[in-house]
């Protein structure tokens, strides 16, 4: 009977050692995946910063190049013509 108990203890010890090894491997894999995710997050944040800076610069450049439309600010005759044209289209 003690041989069966010793054999069972040995089997359980072997299973425990195997499970401990698997847990250690899983922890290493988990840490590697966390590192990869952190690197990807840095790339995404960098790309987002570059894109937002580019969009801002394009917006500023187009705003600088745009001209205000002069609808005859100082000429009342032109203003009246523009008002008449806009009311005819309605």
For tokens 């590697």, the residue is 32
Residue of 32 and 68 predicted with greater confidence: 32
Q: Which residues of 68-78 are buried (b: 16+ CB within 10 A; e: fewer)?
A: eeeeeeeeeee
Question: pLDDT (tens digit, 9 = 90+) per residue, 15-43?
Answer: 999 999 999 999 999 999 999 999 999 99
Contact at 8 Å (CB) between 79 and 71? yes
Distance of CA 32 to the CA centre of its chain: 21
What lies within 8 Å, CB to CB, of 73 at 6+ separation is: 79
Q: Where are the domains of the chain?
A: 2-88
* Token digits of residue 76: 């009342």
Q: How far apart are CA 85 and CA 71, in angstroms?
A: 12
pLDDT of residue 38: 97
- Average pLDDT of the chain is 84
């Amino acid at each position: 009977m003690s041989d069966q108990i010793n054999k069972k203890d040995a089997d359980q010890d072997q299973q425990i050692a195997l499970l401990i090894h698997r847990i250690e491997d899983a922890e290493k894999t988990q840490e590697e995946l966390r590192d990869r995710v952190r690197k990807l997050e840095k790339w995404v944040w960098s790309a987002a910063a570059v894109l937002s800076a580019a969009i801002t610069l394009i917006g500023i450049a187009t705003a600088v190049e745009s001209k205000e439309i002069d609808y005859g600010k100082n000429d009342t005759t032109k203003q009246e013509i523009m008002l008449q044209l806009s009311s005819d289209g309605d």
